[in-house]
Chain A
Amino acid sequence: MNKIELLAPAGDMEKLKIAFLYGADAVYCAGKRFGLRANANNFTLEELKKAVLFAHERNKKLYVTVNIIFHEKELEGLDSYLKQLDEINVDAIIASDIVVIKKVKKLGLNLEVHVSTQASILNSESALFYKELGVSRLVLAREANLKDIKEIKEKTNLELECFIHGAMCTSFSGRCVMSNYCTLRDANRGGCAQICRWTFQAGHNKEIFSMTPKDLNLIEYIKDLINIGVNSFKVEGRMRGIYYIATVIYVYRKIIEEIDKETLTEGKINYYLDILNRCANRDSTSQFLNGLPTEKEQYFLGRQELSNQDFLGLVLDYDEEKHIVTLEHRNYFKKGDVVEFFGPNLDPYTYKIEEIYDENDKLIEVSNHPKALIKLKVDIRLEKYDMMRIKMFDKKDYL
């Protein structure tokens, strides 16, 4: 099997570390300017520098989005920003505006350029247009189906990156300015107010509706996508939390490994699918991969988002002599609960909570204070950044 890249989102340094530790080969993020998540925390140049070092020390990669559509005034500072990204050895930038692609060449930078999904590439001829501009990778439109992807690969031999998981736009990405019309927030410069998820009335019909797509989830198609030559599997979600990133990256890493070892079974796919569905806050489907989405791949009545409270604690430390783990509390749990630890080097481990101690070693019955330090006695060795969650599924039930 060719080297397959698992590409994770990161809205800040903690998420970046979690993504790499849980199995991402590369992470994409944005600096303080020129990214399409203008209101995420994002990274200062100093943080980007640290992020590159963190990635390269682990033989992994860091990509930076420079993917807004530029107005005249944003062009100021673009040249120096690109030079800075080049100097700190960012592995690639993700761009959609032709001015960014051309500037990288004109300035003689070593930066690789990946064309963003905002460019709506759905056919081999538009892919060839970008190839002639000298880009090294295409992030295809999320509307591409298996046939399109296969043909684009065959006719361009470019590296292809496909979204495999996360939220979808109602429109072709980059082809919506509803936010501009309704709120004056420019969608193509990072201010999207997600108007497609608001409610509409159609003509004289009484039924109000939204146009919210369900999320994308291609877990069942990873093998097909590998076979047709997709090089990088991208997870959406720079605004998501660490539990979501850890869970999704962990699952796809396992899936890719199992495909490589030829041990992936339908039962295992169902197990991982249940885990993914549990940590998502919307239902998910394969969207365009096998045809046009119907009314079943969409929500009509406002946001149908569930709050997930499965994430119970983040491991901060483990005392190997005393077998005591120190956790940072995330959601309510109590004595007697059956939970599960999982981590980058830890297959899900079932654990019944017998005793809970607070940070002063006082015995307590429940843990219910956000970010409180909690101690538990756990016999297996845990590592920093392992996580504790509600136990919902048991892998052996699927085998």
Chain B
Amino acid sequence: MMERQFLIVVTNEEILKLKVKKINFLFPVKDFSVGFLNTYKMENIDRMDSYLYMNRILDCEGIKKLEEELKKINKNIKGICFTDLGVIQIVKKLGLSLELIYMQSHNTTNASSINYYLDYVDSLLISTDITKKEMISILNQAKKPLVVPFFSLAEALYSRRTLLKNYQKHFNLLENQEELLIEKGTKKEFLAVENEFGTVLYAKKFIDYRDIEHENILYSFLNPMHLSLKELEKILNKEEISIDKDTGFLYQETYYQLKEEDHE
């Protein structure tokens, strides 16, 4: 088994002090990312072998701006982790030799689709919406090494709407770009993070997928928002930590045909 390599979103400056080996940093890029309060201007990302994180769905203005920005891209940038498929076209058009990693949280749920996407990109992030069995099956069949969730906040909703701003305006509350939302019936908690390009709701509990091991893994992915450096070090070393976490859908399958009680 190869030594595990990590891909960690730089959600704050502290993370850059991590001393663990085999880390690749992923910088949320200003104007091209959502779900982060801390973002980086592309020209200020000067660390060697950095990845750009561009998880925004881009409108026409956004994609044009991206093309202009990528014309000036620094040589230290190793690759782009992106959501909008238009990024593939732009990188191709500009003839850039960047590693492309597709990161759409919900549509990489079977090996066939993943292998088709891999005709256009170097790797992609497997969805957090599937079981461990499905994930292993995908890793067995994928024609290129994949990125797997490791320990992360997982995206539950991405809206173009400024949901927090609208809510605060409606109730005359102070503006706040981050809020904990609790669904009243199920008591499920979601962390809402907003910028001018939309709102992301993360499931509040970190997903702990650390026991996924496979030889076809390129990177293990972490979005460590709100974790301290110490906690993060423990997580990377697979030590036990006492924070709110669960195993997401790894061991519980979702369904879609209603059961009898759902019809009530």
- Chain A residues in the interface with B (C-beta under 8 A): 38-39, 68-72, 74-75, 96-99, 102, 120, 122-130, 141, 143-145, 147-148, 151-152, 170-172, 174-178, 180-186, 188-191, 195-196, 198-203, 205, 207-209, 211, 213, 288, 292-295, 298, 300
Known: A72-B110, A185-B255. A207 touches B138 (CB 8 A): no
What residues of A have a CB within 8 angstroms of the CB of B262 in the complex?
183, 185
Inter-chain contact B156/A176, CB cutoff 8 Å: yes
Inter-chain contact B167/A189, CB cutoff 8 Å: no
Inter-chain contact A38/B257, CB cutoff 8 Å: yes
Chain B's nearest CB lies how many Å from the CB of A292? 7
Inter-chain contact A191/B255, CB cutoff 8 Å: yes
What residues of A have a CB within 8 angstroms of the CB of B62 in the complex?
123
Inter-chain contact B159/A298, CB cutoff 8 Å: no
B228 within 8 A of A: no
What residues of A have a CB within 8 angstroms of the CB of B117 in the complex?
98
Within the complex, which residue of A129, A183, A288, A295 is in contact with B160, where a contact is CB–CB below 8 Å? A288
Known: A71-B130, A191-B258, A295-B170. A200 touches B157 (CB 8 A): no
Known: A120-B57, A191-B255. A99 touches B157 (CB 8 A): no
Inter-chain contact A200/B181, CB cutoff 8 Å: yes
Within the complex, which residue of B63, B159, B255 is in contact with A124, where a contact is CB–CB below 8 Å? B63
What residues of A have a CB within 8 angstroms of the CB of B120 in the complex?
129
Residue of B nearest to A127 (CB): B86
What residues of B have a CB within 8 angstroms of the CB of A99 in the complex?
110, 112-113, 116
Give the complex CA separation of A180 and B253 in angstroms: 9
Known: A123-B63, A177-B156, A191-B258. A172 touches B171 (CB 8 A): no
Inter-chain contact A191/B256, CB cutoff 8 Å: yes
Inter-chain contact A170/B109, CB cutoff 8 Å: no
What residues of B have a CB within 8 angstroms of the CB of A122 in the complex?
57-60, 84
Inter-chain contact B113/A178, CB cutoff 8 Å: no
Residue of B nearest to A150 (CB): B60
Inter-chain contact B157/A176, CB cutoff 8 Å: yes
What residues of B have a CB within 8 angstroms of the CB of A152 in the complex?
60
B184 within 8 A of A: yes
Inter-chain contact B106/A175, CB cutoff 8 Å: yes
Inter-chain contact B89/A125, CB cutoff 8 Å: yes
B86-109, CB under 8 A of A: which get 1 and which 0? 111110000000000000011101
Chain B's nearest CB lies how many Å from the CB of A316? 30
Inter-chain contact B106/A170, CB cutoff 8 Å: no
Task: Give how many B residues have a beta carbon under 8 Å from the other chain's beta carbons.
Answer: 69
Known: A72-B138, A123-B84, A294-B169. A172 touches B160 (CB 8 A): yes
Within the complex, which residue of B157, B164, B185, B201 is in contact with A198, where a contact is CB–CB below 8 Å? B185
Give the complex CA separation of A203 and B168 in angstroms: 12
Within the complex, which residue of B59, B157, B182 is in contact with A175, where a contact is CB–CB below 8 Å? B157
B16 within 8 A of A: no
B186 within 8 A of A: yes
Show 26 A/B contacts (Cβ-Cβ < 8 Å), sorted by A: A39-B258, A69-B107, A71-B134, A72-B134, A98-B107, A125-B86, A126-B84, A143-B57, A143-B160, A147-B60, A148-B60, A170-B161, A170-B163, A172-B160, A174-B106, A176-B157, A178-B183, A180-B156, A181-B203, A185-B256, A186-B256, A188-B129, A198-B183, A209-B171, A292-B161, A295-B170
Residue of A nearest to B63 (CB): A123
Within the complex, which residue of A72, A151, A177, A198 is in contact with B106, where a contact is CB–CB below 8 Å? A177
Chain B's nearest CB lies how many Å from the CB of A75? 6
Residue of A nearest to B107 (CB): A69
Inter-chain contact A180/B116, CB cutoff 8 Å: no
Known: A98-B117, A300-B167. A129 touches B179 (CB 8 A): no
Inter-chain contact B184/A184, CB cutoff 8 Å: no
B76 within 8 A of A: no
Give the complex CA separation of A288 and B162 in angstroms: 12
Give the complex CA separation of A185 and B157 in angstroms: 15
Inter-chain contact A171/B157, CB cutoff 8 Å: yes
Tell me the residues in window 30-53 of chain B with beta carbons closer than 8 Å to chain A beta carbons.
none
B123-143, CB under 8 A of A: which get 1 and which 0? 000000110001001100000
Inter-chain contact A185/B254, CB cutoff 8 Å: yes
Inter-chain contact B184/A199, CB cutoff 8 Å: yes
